[in-house]
Chains A and B, each alone.
Chain A
Amino acid sequence: MSRFLDTFFKWPVFERYLPAILKGMAVTIEIAVLVVIAGILLGLALAVVRAFRLRAINVLIIVFVDTFRALPPLVLILLVYFGLPNVGINVPSFAVLWLVLSLVLAAFAEEIFWAGILSIPKGQWEAARSTGLSHLATLAHVVLPQAVRLAVPPLTNRTIAITKNTALGTVIGVGEILNQATAAQSFSGNATPLMMGAVAYLMLFVPVVVLGRFLETRFAWRRV
């Protein structure tokens, strides 16, 4: 028991590396917030563009969405991080992580918003258009408000899953929680920092997971 405590809950190690873990938390929060904003806005924008049903553009959107849904984020991160410098484009690792995760979230968000838009019965479109609303106005005032409500629960869960991927940043040296924790672990030769990192993630994500659970029952998506 004391060996266990000494390995995972060693007070001096905890005290020493607390600032590093807190710094990591700040970085994780920063990336997560930026990813959520960029990803959801881009996803919504793509879904709106897709609703105009312009064939050539929609093919491009579908290719983008499918690609980013099918590829593991870590593959994309390594591809961008190691590939771009070799063709003369230097991007800091923080920006690479943000860019890749935002695009992945945008792809999933587009799919979810689009499913929401499709689930609005055609009669709503026709009724709105017949009152003289333009296509865009119908979309903005009639269809989207309903579609977005349907999208909330699946989007919340997907967003949580993707923001958790900020931990992948450690592979390219972004100083987020996991990165700080593994560095501290190898300096101290003790597993306490890893435990601290795990607790830090729990503190950040348990509230969001519980919120997601609440939204799921609240907005009950496609209960058959």
Chain B
Amino acid sequence: MQALAEQFFNLAIMRQALPLILAGLGQTAVICLIVVPLGLAGGLAVALISLSRLRAVRWAAVAAIDFFRAIPPLVLLIFVYSGLPFAGIRMSPLAAVAIAFLLNNSSYYGEIFRAGIESVGSGQWDAARSTGLRAWQALAYVVLPQAVRNVLPDLVSNTVEVVKLTSIASVVALPELLYSADMARSVTFNSSPIVLAAAIYLALLWPIVRLISRLERRIAA
């Protein structure tokens, strides 16, 4: 019991590691602020493409979505970060993370946006267009607001997944929350810094996870 507390809940070590871990948290926030908006924008674009009137375009979009849903994000990230340099394309860890996440997230957000847009009746389009709105106006002011409301739980839940996924940036040595905690662990030979990082993830994400359960249940009911 004593050993367990020493190993996982060593307050002295946690206090020592705190500045490093908070810096990591800052990096995680920066990553999130980059990859979530990029993913949402990419997802919306993918959704619109996959709703195209041309069958060939639709099929291409579906193939691309399934391709990126079948590749583990970590494989994509390592490919971008350490595979592309062999072809002369070199980039910083942050750029690699941004690109890999854009490819991966656009597929997931894209599927969600597509389901949302499909859930809005086509009469809404027709009505909006007939009042003189242009296609993009009909999309922005009439269809999207309803679509987003219909798939809000999925959007929020996917965003939680994206935030959790930023932890794989540690593999390409981007000093985010998990990377910093693991650095502290390897210096101190003690797991308390990782417990501290876990506590931070939990504090940030638990409220949202609870909220999602609520939202999902309300829709299911």
Label chain B's interface by main secondary structure. Answer: helix
A168-B8 Cα distance, complex, nearest whole Å? 22
Residues on the B chain within 8 Å of A87, using CB: 3-4, 7
Residues on the A chain within 8 Å of B8, using CB: 83
Find the A residue at minimum CB distance from B202. A70
Nearest-Cβ distance from residue A93 to partner chain B, whole angstroms? 15
A195-B80 Cα distance, complex, nearest whole Å? 11
Q: Produce 1/0 per residue, A202-217, CB < 8 A to B.
A: 1011101110010000
Let me know if B75 and A83 touch, CB within 8 A: no
Nearest-Cβ distance from residue B201 to partner chain A, whole angstroms? 6
A33 at interface by CB-CB < 8 Å: no
Let me know if A79 and B195 touch, CB within 8 A: yes
A192-B94 Cα distance, complex, nearest whole Å? 24
Residues on the A chain within 8 Å of B167, using CB: 72, 74-75
Let me know if B75 and A71 touch, CB within 8 A: no
Looking at the complex, which of B38-46, B137-145, B211-219 is the stretch in contact with chain A? B211-219
B58 at interface by CB-CB < 8 Å: no
Let me know if B75 and A167 touch, CB within 8 A: yes
A40-B167 Cα distance, complex, nearest whole Å? 25
Nearest-Cβ distance from residue B90 to partner chain A, whole angstroms? 13
Let me know if A202 and B194 touch, CB within 8 A: no
Q: Produce 1/0 per residue, A70-98, CB < 8 A to B.
A: 11111110110011001110000000000
Residues on the B chain within 8 Å of A75, using CB: 167, 178, 194, 197-198, 201
Nearest-Cβ distance from residue A62 to partner chain B, whole angstroms? 9
Let me know if A86 and B219 touch, CB within 8 A: no
Q: What are 29 A-B contacts defined by CB distance under 8 Å?
A: A7-B87, A8-B87, A66-B213, A69-B209, A70-B206, A72-B166, A75-B178, A75-B201, A79-B198, A82-B191, A86-B191, A88-B3, A118-B221, A164-B71, A164-B73, A167-B72, A167-B74, A167-B75, A178-B75, A178-B78, A191-B84, A191-B86, A191-B87, A194-B79, A205-B71, A208-B70, A222-B219, A224-B119, A224-B219
List chain A positions with a Cβ less than 8 A from chain B: 3-4, 7-8, 66-67, 69-76, 78-79, 82-83, 86-88, 111, 115, 118-119, 160-161, 164-168, 170-171, 177-178, 182, 185, 190-191, 194-195, 197-198, 201-202, 204-206, 208-210, 213, 222-224
The 6 A-B residue pairs whose C-beta atoms are closest, nearest first, are A205-B70, A83-B191, A167-B72, A72-B167, A70-B205, A191-B86
List chain B positions with a Cβ less than 8 A from chain A: 3-4, 7-8, 66-67, 69-75, 78-79, 82-84, 86-88, 119, 150, 160-161, 164-168, 170-171, 178, 182, 185, 189-191, 194-195, 197-198, 201-202, 205-206, 208-210, 213, 216-217, 219-221
